[in-house]
Every structure is written in C-alpha cells, then in structure tokens.
Amino acid sequence: MGFLAWVFTLVLWGAALALVLGAVVLGVCRLRPTKDLKKRRSVTVLVLGDFGRSPRMQYHCVSLAKLPFTTVDIVGYGGTDPIDEIVSGSAPNVDEANASFRLHMMRPPPALPKNAPKAVFLLYAPFKVVFQILQLTWTMTFSVSRPSHILVQNPPSIPSLPVAVLVTMLHGSRLVVDWHNYGYTILGLSLGPNHPVVKLAWAIEATFGRLGSDHFCVTHAMRKDLVNWGVSARALHDRPPPAFRPTPLDDLAPLFSGISATSTDFGGGACVDGGTAFTTGSGDLRPTRPALLVSSTSWTPDEDFSILLSALEDYEAARAREPQSLPQLLCVITGKGPLKAFYEEKISKMDFVHVRISTAWLSAADYPKLLGAATLGVSLHTSSSGLDLPMKVVDMFGCALPVCAKSFRCIDELVKVGINGVTFDTASELGEQIVTLLRGFPHKTPQLDKLRNGLKEFRDNSWERNWTAQAASTFIST
C-alpha cells in the first residue's frame, strides 16, 4: 500500500497544482476581450479523445450549429477525420466569421506501449493527467471564444470534468454533461473494480459530474442510476444520421468492387465476368451470393469475440449438413482496437470451408454503405456499467439491418426481441440464431424479413427530430 499511497499522493498533488495554475491563467485571461464574430455566440464541445471516433458528439455539433447565430468550438484530439458536415463547415474551408465549426485539435500525450506492465501505467498516469490539465486549460482559454455553454463527453472523466467545471465557473458558462457511460467502470476492466485507483476515479467522476447545470445520458436505465449520484438527466437516445440507410442496388457493384481492391474475401478479380462475389459484371446481384454478416467493434475487453468465432464454427457445421437451405457466409468485422491482432491470429488458425472472415478496414463513406448492403448484424457489446447502448446497433438499425445482440442489462431499450432483432447469452444461442435467420437466403427468409420490417418505427425517429425535442431547449436558454 505504500507504493499505491505514493501514486495517489502524486496524482492528487499534481492535479491540484495543475488546476491552480489553470485557475490563475483563466482568471487573468477572463479579462481579455471575447472575439467578436458578428455577435455569433459559441458553444464549446469537449471530447478528450479522438473526436472523429465519437459519432454522438459529432451529431451534437451538427445540431448545435443549426441553432441561430451559433458557432461550435470543438476541442479534442485528432486522428480520425470528422464527418463531412463538420469538415466542410469549418475554417479554413469557410471564413472564420461565417464558420459553423472551429476545430481545436490537440496533440495527444505520449502513449505507453500496449504491453506495458500495470506498475508502469500507474506511474505514468499522474504525469499524463497533469499534462492534459495544462493542455486543456491553455486551449480553452487562448484558442476558444468564451462560450455560453460547454458540452463535455463523459467518459473520459479525468481530467475533462474537473477542467470543464473550472472553465465554466470562471467564464460564467453553463456546463452540460453528456453521460455515455461511467469512466470508473471502464478503468475497472483493466485494474479490477476494487482497485484503489478505480475508487479514486469514481470519487472524482461523482464529485465533478454532479456539478453540471444540465445533463444528458444514453439510456433510461442510466437516467435512473444517475439519481443516486444526485444528477437529474434527460435520456437522449442515439439515432443514426441520414447516411445510414439501405444501400441502393446501383451502389452495390461499385461498393463491393472498391472493397475487393483491398480484400480478396469479396471475390474481386476472381470472377470471370469481372464482378464480385455479390454482384455480376453487369451490376446485378448474384443468385449464388453468400450472406453478408457484419459486426463492428473497437476490439476492447468488453466485447468477447470468441463468442462470434464459436458461433461461426456452429454455422460451418450446419452449412455442411444443409447445403441446399443455408448459404455460404462472409463475416466482415470492422474497426480498430487493442485486441485486433490477438483475434486476427486466432482467425488465421481456424479451418473454414463455408465461412470466410474479413477484418477489412472501411472508410467513413463505405462503412454505412456496407451496413446497408448486409444481411445480418451482430453486436457483442456488453457495457462496463451495463447502462449504455452500442452505437453500432443504432447504425445497423438505421440501415434496416436486423441484429443479433449480446444480452445485458438495458439492451431491451434498443433491441426488441422478435420485433427488430434477437438477443443471446451464449455462442451456441448465437449460432442457432444465425442459422435460423439465414435459412433460405437469398430467396425466402421470413423471420429475417419480419425483423427488417419491424425497424420502420425506429428509422422514422431521426437524430435531428429527437435532438430538437429533447436537447435544443438546453442550449437556447441562457
């Protein structure tokens, strides 16, 4: 405990020093004149991570920019390109006085090797926190116009929440916290739920999180749980943007041909007629095409992909028994993350005849098109807190793609069993569901068609309509 006590002391003193320095800087800089951009007001959106990989916060930004005379200052880390609406509406693509978005992309702190020991992580953590506190304080004072509101994504909680509280107090802004999950539960996946560092993270998150003026969260289950923290939040369910829709037939051939250029699993170059495994050279769908199963992941510990791999083994055996009623299967797993190499090695050792697995990386433009062309989706997300919902399922539903989803505490807020999807607990259950839903493809799939038809109500309620009803008033009021 002596070592841990030393680490905690260093974290607390470092963070306290950084916050004090930040307060001094902000106190001085509060005297500086606010940028006058034709009297447009600004809202700051803070994401302490790769902003391009946070779709919900990007959709927030687009909706905010549609409010009268509002410019959105985006503070986060670069890496992945944001959606087109943000790129095209930001300076320097538009002159600053008329820009809808101003991007303030910071340089991420130096990263530790992925296989670094836990002790090294504990030693490094306080220095990273201090670095981020100073970096955020500088950016939100010297780069960002004084905002009417600051919208912060949680998690990560440290140091986003403490810095956001400090900035809003000194600027007289309103702090809006968008609760996607609990940060301390994610930390608990690697350190264990009873680790002292996890308990410290909980204390910081609970203390500063409740200081927001307004709160959103992603589920009704989280809204109820936040009451225990003294937080009154509104549940703002995710909805997909317009790009997530069924892919028209005319777009399928170019899509599969493009993907085939980097992935042999789609049959590019192997077809006599110049087509792909899914489309003929003339652009029509092949009657012998495989079913397309899609699963998107960030390759993190809260998604056990061994479940899907085991289910695919069951499907392989079923296809060997029923070659006339079950199709060949291509499973595409998209995304980046720390466990990708681990699972790719496992996949390379699997002996499949009727199933192929591709871990192809897709562009932001091709990803919704692939979902819109897929036959069935799979989600293995379980949530570290059991209180958030997988955005990947929201995107799949936007594309009218039924989903087999791993069961957990609040998944029923999104997946309605027998109406728009099914849920499973074990690999064998998932395997049975895939077999049942794909039996008869591509001709007659009555159970799959029923689930697809059940998605109409979900797809009719867009993000913009939902945001306008649930969130707009928070930012219009001052």
**pLDDT tens per residue across all 478 residues of the chain:** 445 444 554 555 455 555 555 555 555 555 444 444 445 688 999 999 999 989 899 999 999 999 988 999 999 998 888 888 898 877 555 555 557 899 999 998 887 776 777 677 777 778 888 899 999 999 988 888 889 999 999 999 999 999 999 999 888 899 999 999 999 998 898 888 999 989 999 999 999 999 999 999 999 999 999 999 999 999 999 998 888 999 998 888 888 888 876 666 676 555 656 678 888 877 788 888 999 999 988 777 768 888 999 999 999 999 999 999 999 999 998 877 777 888 888 888 898 999 999 887 787 788 899 999 999 999 998 888 889 999 899 999 999 999 999 999 899 999 999 999 999 999 999 999 999 999 999 999 999 999 999 998 888 888 999 999 999 999 986 5
CB of 312 within 8 A of CB of 331? yes
Dihedral of CA atoms 431, 435, 438, 440 in degrees, nearest 10, equals: 170
Dihedral of CA atoms 231, 237, 241, 242 in degrees, nearest 10, equals: -150
The DSSP call for residue 109 is P
* pLDDT score recorded for residue 205: 96
Strands of the 421-424 sheet, one edge to the other: 355-358, 329-334, 291-296, 376-379, 403-406, 421-424
Report DSSP letters for 135-201, one per residue: HHHHIIIIISPPPSEEEEEES--TTHHHHHHHHHHHHT-EEEEEESS-HHHHHHHHH-TT-HHHHHH
Of 165, 289, 179, 152, which is closest to residue 233 (Cα–Cα)? 179
Tokens of 154: 């949680």
How many other CB atoms sit within 10 Å of the CB of residue 171?
21
Tokens of 339: 């466990």
* pLDDT score recorded for residue 41: 81
* pLDDT score recorded for residue 18: 53
CB of 16 within 8 A of CB of 130? no
* pLDDT score recorded for residue 1: 42
Q: In 3-state terms, what secondary structure has residue 439?
A: coil
Cα 387 off chain centre by: 15
Tokens of 171: 């600027």
pTM: 0.81
Query: What gap in Å lies between CA 49 and CA 335, rounded to an integer?
Result: 16
